[in-house]
């Protein structure tokens, strides 16, 4: 049963790392892989602490993703309204892009973040230049968030593999 558990963990980790930059819930796939490994090995090496760590890292990834888009939109001259626009636009864009295989949600999230920040900022300041800068900041924030989430995915993978080594 351990071989199946290791295979599950490795596949979940690899799939999760591929899904993260696509704007899909890769960190949560990885968390499920760690929990699945624990379940298949009767939680001999995966306990409450390990599960808590991977859940915490995944939650931090989601918080950082939302915060960075917001933060970068503001850093590039947008108001908090632009930050909210980036957040809402990114989510809507990712959902709208889902029908396009593989990269649709990524492109949708980037376009949505830009559009949301730009539109929300334009409704406040009514200047195209300021709205465009805020939108560009939101796009950069989305890219930075993807990079941070991949790094956190690597942390989850290492924690999971450490559980295998301990077993």
Query: Tens digits of per-residue pLDDT, 72-124?
Result: 877 888 888 888 888 888 888 888 887 787 678 788 888 988 998 898 888 88
Question: 5 or 63, which is more confident?
Answer: 63
69 pLDDT higher than 80: no
70 pLDDT higher than 70: yes
Q: What distance in Å separates the CA atoms of residue 105 and residue 103, rounded to the nearest whole number?
A: 6
1 pLDDT higher than 70: no
Task: Please report, rounded to a whole number, the percentage of residues in the chain having pLDDT higher than 90.
Answer: 28
List the one residue out of 30, 44, 33, 116 whose CA is nearest residue 80: 116
The first and second tokens of residue 122, run together, are: 């334009």
List the one residue out of 143, 161, 167 whose CA is nearest residue 65: 143
56 pLDDT higher than 90: yes
Total of domains in the chain: 1
The first and second tokens of residue 142, run together, are: 């989305």
Phi (first) and psi of residue 6, to 5 degrees: -65, -45
The first and second tokens of residue 64, run together, are: 């950082």
Mean pLDDT of the chain: 87
Phi (first) and psi of residue 52, to 5 degrees: -60, -40
Query: Using 50, 70 and 90 to split pLDDT, how confident is the model at 167?
Result: low
Q: What distance in Å separates the CA atoms of residue 86 and residue 80, rounded to the nearest whole number?
A: 10
Domain extent, residue 22, equals 2-166
Q: What distance in Å separates the CA atoms of residue 24 and residue 5, rounded to the nearest whole number?
A: 23
């Amino acid at each position: 049963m351990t071989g199946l558990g290791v295979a599950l963990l490795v596949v979940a980790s690899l799939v999760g790392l591929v899904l993260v930059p696509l704007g899909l819930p890769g960190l949560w796939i990885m968390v499920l892989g760690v929990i699945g490994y624990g379940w298949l090995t009767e939680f001999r090496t995966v306990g409450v602490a390990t599960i808590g760590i991977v859940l915490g890292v995944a939650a931090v990834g989601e918080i950082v993703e939302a915060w960075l888009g917001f933060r970068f939109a503001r850093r590039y001259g947008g108001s908090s309204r632009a930050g909210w626009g980036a957040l809402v636009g990114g989510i809507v864009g990712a959902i709208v892009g889902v029908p396009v295989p593989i990269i649709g949600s990524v492109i949708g999230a980037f376009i949505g973040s830009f559009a949301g920040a730009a539109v929300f900022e334009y409704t406040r300041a009514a200047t195209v230049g300021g709205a465009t800068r805020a939108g560009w900041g939101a796009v950069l924030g989305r890219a930075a968030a993807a990079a941070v989430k991949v790094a956190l995915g690597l942390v989850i993978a290492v924690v999971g593999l450490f559980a295998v080594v301990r077993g």
